Amino acid sequence: MQKLKFLRFSKEKVSLFLAVYIGLFLNLSVYIGRYGTQNSHNSLIESLYILGEVAVNIAFTFFLLRLISFCGTLFFKIVASFILLISVCASYYISFFDVVIGYGIIISTLTTDIDLSKELISPNVIIWIIGLSILPLALTWLCKKPEKNITQQQKKKIWIKNTVKMLVIALAVFAYLKTLDSKQKAYEIKNNLDLPSYSGGLSYAYLPTNWIIPLFQYAITQYDDHFNSQNIFDPADNFTYIPSKANEDVYVVFIIGETARWDHMGLFGYERQTNPLLSQEKKSDCSERYLLRYSNKTFAKMYVWCVKMVQKITINER
């Protein structure tokens, strides 16, 4: 350990290194992809936007890691390593497959279906993770513990210094995001547009916030589902359904994937023909049918959590 003393840095310096490594290096492909997306038609302004996003992303990542470091050295090493490994893994799919990390991706990744989960891992992913994680992991686990032989006065000064730094970073990030949100809102009003908020788009575009936020959403959903499951009314336990003979030739159509969104159905005028077979049905050959037009949780393995029949198509009987 003494031979590696030159690699031992304070938790603050390790946090800064990881913030730059994750916030800048692992997001390079995203920065390149977002260049020119602000409709400014000016290369200098677009470059300033990207530089601002780089600064904000590094600042927020540093803020998060520094906040974690206040909880103890061992806790910092474990959580920082977890954030690093997940971010490196996600960067592989972002860089090579242009995957947008979001709630649906988190759900699909955390599924207990082994057949689906094992498709995420390949030799290339493992090589990528090892190659990009080994150095930052080493620096993280070699970070120095805080000095113990310091006076109470010194501790107070360090606490004040750290608090001021954290407040400045938080205020700077907040001010930047609010300013750009306001500017985009003015652009929307001027051009009669309705766009996602700038800060929201930013948080879902870059590592590590693009997987941390959905992960918290998933945890909250699981918590709510667990504690509310006892209060869910089960119609099957309270009613007996007797199907009408008049509905014997009624079909319920489940449309999974991209076309689970009603506005992505070729049947309803979407530019891509996503319902080729259904569109070939002759109205005169069908009876009254219902199409499932909305679904609010669709994931892989033909799994639909909630579907509502809201679009009723009435056509001539056979």
281-290 pLDDT per residue, tens: 665 444 334 4
pLDDT for res 117: 62
Q: What is the residue whose two structure tokens read 């949100």?
A: 181
Are 51 and 105 spatial neighbours (Cβ–Cβ below 8 Å)?
Answer: no
pLDDT for res 284: 44
Are 266 and 276 spatial neighbours (Cβ–Cβ below 8 Å)?
Answer: yes
Mean pLDDT of the chain: 79
Rounded to an integer, what distance in angstroms lies between the CA atom of residue 18 and that of residue 136? 7
pLDDT for res 2: 53
Q: Which residue ranges in the chain fall short of pLDDT 50?
A: 1, 284-318
Q: What is the residue whose two structure tokens read 């669709």?
A: 298
pLDDT for res 69: 92
pLDDT for res 306: 43
Phi and psi at 291, nearest 5°, equal -110, 135
Rounded to an integer, what distance in angstroms lies between the CA atom of residue 187 and that of residue 175? 18
Are 309 and 291 spatial neighbours (Cβ–Cβ below 8 Å)?
Answer: yes
